[in-house]
Every structure is written in C-alpha cells, then in structure tokens.
Chain A
Amino acid sequence: MPGLLHRFLALDRRWIFLLVLLSVAGPIIFPVGLPVTVTESTQKSFDYIEALKPGDIVWLSFDYGPSSAPENDPMAEAFLRQCLLKKVRVVVTALYPLGGLGLANQCLARITAEYPDAKYGVDYINLGYKDGATAVMRRLGDDISAAFPTDVSGRPLSEFPIMRGLKSIRDVKLVFTAATGLIGEYWITQVHSQIGTPVIIGPTAVSAPKYYAFINSGQLVGMLGGMKGAAEYELLLSRGHPELASLYRSTKGFTATKGMDGQTVLHGFILLFIVLGNIAFFQERAKKARA
C-alpha cells in the first residue's frame, strides 16, 4: 500500500486529465439523473419572482461571456421563461463586452420562440450593449434613455410601449444579473445601495462565495450560485409550472440539471484524489521524520 501511494504521488497528471474527461463525458452519454437539493438563496429568488404581478417590469442583464455560458446561460433562460410565463415584462441589456450581447440575442431568440404570444417592444425589449458598467448604471438611475437612447437595432425607445412610464431603473421591480467578474457586484453596490432596486444575482461558481456576504447583509434578494444554482432553479420551475417540467424533461438542449450529473461524478473523484494525496503526503512526511 505505501508503495502504491508513493506511485500515486508521482503519477503523470495527464492520467488524471483523462479520468476527468471520462468522468464528465460519461454522464453526458449515459445520463444518470442524480437528485438536486434546493438552497435557501435560490428558493428566495424563485419566490420573489413568483410573487410579481403580470405587467410588472424586471431588468435582465447579460453580464457574462461565452467563457462562462454553461453556468450563466441556464440561469438567464430559466429566469426569462418564468417571467414570460407569468406575463412579467422584461428589459434586456448586456454590460459585458466580450460576447454579452451575442448571448443575450441568442437567449432571447431561443426562449421567445417558446412563447409566440410575447411581443417585442410590449412584453420584452433588448436595449443592447453599453460599455463602462458603473457609468451606465449611474445613468440608469437618472434616465434610461440617456444610457440607452435606442434599442439594439437602433430604434428610439419612445417607439416601444414597454418603455412608456419607465424613466429610470428605480421604476423596475427587480434587476436579475447573470454575471461573471465584477459587473454583478456593481449592480448590488451601486444600483441597489444607491437607488434601492432589489437585485438577484446569478454568478459563476468562482464568484459565488463573496456574494454570501451581500445576502447576509440584506443587499441581495437571492443568488443562483453557478451551475448548481441554475439546476436548483430549473427544479423549482419544474415543480411550480408543469408545462416547464415537461419542457425540461423533453429538451435535447443543454440544461444545468443535465450538467449536474457530471459535476457530481467528478467531485466524487476529486474528493478521492484529495484523500489519497493527503494520505501519501503524511506518509512521506512521517518517513522523512523517521529517517
């Protein structure tokens, strides 16, 4: 056994890469359907949106790029589905420079195709991308049309019924930001703290730990932490809306719930590696101490 552990420490790491590949690819080819448990921060986010009334306006900001799309895409899609299903109107923006707008366009195209009754300019609108996140948010607090004079295709905002009566971001019921990096934090520390608009964040898992401090201080309504948070939200949507349950069951597209199989299997292997690595490390240290 000690010899085996010693060989484990000296193992070429490319074998570990191969094992990682197999443990993630396996559940994609043969889905397992492992259970997902719901955390409090996701439940609070879901309940808040469920309590909104038809006609209310919410703000959805695509503050991420393709590099974190597997985590953030399912959150944005689930949020948009819930809003359109409940007839809550959605204003879409993108503040992340590298691909935020492209992902917003794709997500809107995918989800609005599922809701043919939802009309552009009435039930939802895409204001496009704007550079300089903090400066944009500052302007949104005073005048939305100063920050976004036109929609994504260059038409003035005054042409759209959804924008009538919507002067500043304080007029929306909620901001949902699917975010990577710092832009999500700006929505909390600038828009919520200075204007008062409630914020829900869907960060990448890497950023998630720091947002617990904002949940504890009451600056966030809730959070969907990484792919796990998105999978929890899909579960809540499926439980709350049977029509979405059948959609999530039948879709051949990527969902966070499907991704969690690979996460669970690989995390099992990582835990095993950590335990074996530690045993080998302490044995090595004891051997040196004896010598």
Chain B
Amino acid sequence: MHFVGFGTWLAALLTLFAFSFLYKDNPFFRFAESLFAGVSLGYYVGITLNQTLLPNLVDPMVQDFGHNWDLVVPGLLGLMLYVRAVPKIGWVSRYALAIFVAYYIGVDFTRRIQGEVLPQIARTMLPLSSLQATTLVSLIFIVGVYSVLVYFFFSKEQNAVTKPLARLGIWFLMISFGAAFGFTVMGRVALLIGRLNFLILNWIYPTIGLQ
C-alpha cells in the first residue's frame, strides 16, 4: 500500500460527502456544504486583501504618500460602505454606492454598445444580392433573427402575418435551447469526470497500491 497524503483523503471524503446527496439528504452532505461555503468566503476575503487592497491601496500610501495621496478617496469610499452597520449614519453609504454604480454604468454602457450591440447588429446585415454558397446560410440567419424578434414583440396582437413568423421564431429558439442543453450536459459531465478521475486515480489506486 502506498502512502496517500492527508489532503487527498480529506478531499476524497468531502467529495463522497457531496455525492451522498444523490442518494438522499444527510448530515455529511450538510457538513460538506457548510464547510465549502465558509472556506470559499474566507479565501475570497484573504485573497482580496493580499492581492488587491495591500498592493493597490495600502502599500503605495505607506511607501510614498506624497505621490499616492489620491488613493485616500477610493479608500474612504470603500470604508463608507461599511457605515450601513450604524443605522444613524447609514445614509452615508448610499453616496459611496451611488459612485460605484455610476462608475460601472459608465464602463458597462460603452462595453455593451461597442462590444455587443453594434457588432451583433452589423452581423445581421448580410448581403443577399449575389448567389453564393453562403447565401443560404445568411438567409437562414436573417430569418431566424427576425422571426425570434417578432416572437418577443408583445406590444401588438399577432395577426395572420406575424403569428406564423412568431411560431417559426419558437422553432429557432427551441433549436438554440437544445444546443445549450447539450453543452450544459457536457459541462456537468466534465465536472463529474474530473471528480471521478481524482477519486480513482489519485485516491483509490494509490491506496490499494495500483500506482
């Protein structure tokens, strides 16, 4: 029998605890679930402190405050968020929150328009003037986009023209949902493969001396 480390045993047992839910809910699963949530939060706090707050805020101010005094502003904004814990002055946190929200709206607005909306609209404007091998694909693409848009247009009652179009839109949606479902199954199976691979090759085999 080969020596298998404590970490491997711990990970293997926690994996089995998590899988035990598939049979039925039990205290082992609850323990693993709570442990995972706690460890994740602790890790998140620690890594944000060490990799973001210290190098980007604390260290620059401690080492050279003269050149980095402007970091006091984001530092204070961050602290202001926590005054929610004091009900009397809780309103102060709203100013910090407002600035964060405004910043991310500014960043996201450009990102969405320039990175998603415009390129995707441009992609639907396909040439159909010349007959090529790709013309049929373009035609299907255009019919798909517009029939789905018609399906989602709820402001007017559907008539003899829009109803069949909307119905066609449902078919396009179903095909895309089917593709998404297939990919989702593949993703979930990949995670199971990863765990079983660990249990078999890193835990069971070394424990019984097969590797």
Contacts and interface: CB of A to CB of B under 8 A. Distances in A.
A and B assemble together: yes
A149 B187 CA distance: 36
B136 interface: no
Interface residues of B, number: 48
B103 to A, nearest CB: 8
Interface string A71-99: 10000000000000000000000000111
A45 interface: no
A190 B196 contact: no
Nearest to A71: B190
Contact of B186 (A128, A194, A228): A228
B151 to A, nearest CB: 18
A209 B180 contact: yes
B179 interface: yes
Contacts of B211: 252
Given A29-B200, A101-B47, A226 B193 contact: no
Nearest to A259: B193
B60 A263 contact: no
B143 to A, nearest CB: 15
Given A67-B191, A149-B56, A254-B197, A190 B44 contact: no
A69 interface: yes
Contacts of A279: none
B189 A263 contact: yes
Contact of A190 (B47, B59, B115): B115
Interface stretch (A2-10, A13-21, A238-246): A13-21
A67 B114 CA distance: 31
A209 B183 contact: yes
Nearest to B211: A252
B185 interface: yes
A98 B44 CA distance: 6
B57 to A, nearest CB: 10
B34 interface: no
Interface residues of A, number: 60
Contacts of A270: 185
B3 interface: no
Contacts of A178: none
B67 interface: no
What's the dominant secondary structure at chain A's contact region?
Answer: helix
Contacts of A97: 44, 47-48
Interface stretch (A48-56, A131-139, A168-176): A131-139
B70 interface: no
A29 B196 CA distance: 10
Given A21-B196, A190-B115, A217 B123 contact: yes
B51 interface: yes
Interface stretch (B83-91, B104-112, B159-167): B104-112
A134 B108 contact: yes
Max chain B C-beta neighbours (<10 A), residue from A28, A186, A270:
A28
Given A17-B22, A193-B114, A193-B115, A213 B120 contact: yes
Contacts of A154: 55
A232 B123 CA distance: 27
Contacts of B179: 209
21 contacts: A20-B192, A69-B194, A70-B190, A97-B44, A98-B44, A130-B56, A149-B59, A152-B51, A189-B115, A192-B115, A193-B111, A194-B111, A216-B123, A219-B119, A226-B190, A252-B201, A254-B201, A259-B194, A262-B192, A263-B193, A267-B189
Interface of B: 22-23, 40, 43-44, 47-48, 51-52, 55-56, 59-60, 103-104, 107-108, 110-112, 114-116, 119-120, 122-123, 176, 179-180, 183-197, 200-201, 211
Given A98-B43, A254-B201, 17 more contacts: A20-B192, A24-B193, A67-B191, A70-B195, A71-B187, A129-B51, A130-B51, A135-B107, A148-B55, A188-B115, A189-B111, A190-B111, A190-B115, A216-B123, A226-B190, A227-B186, A227-B187
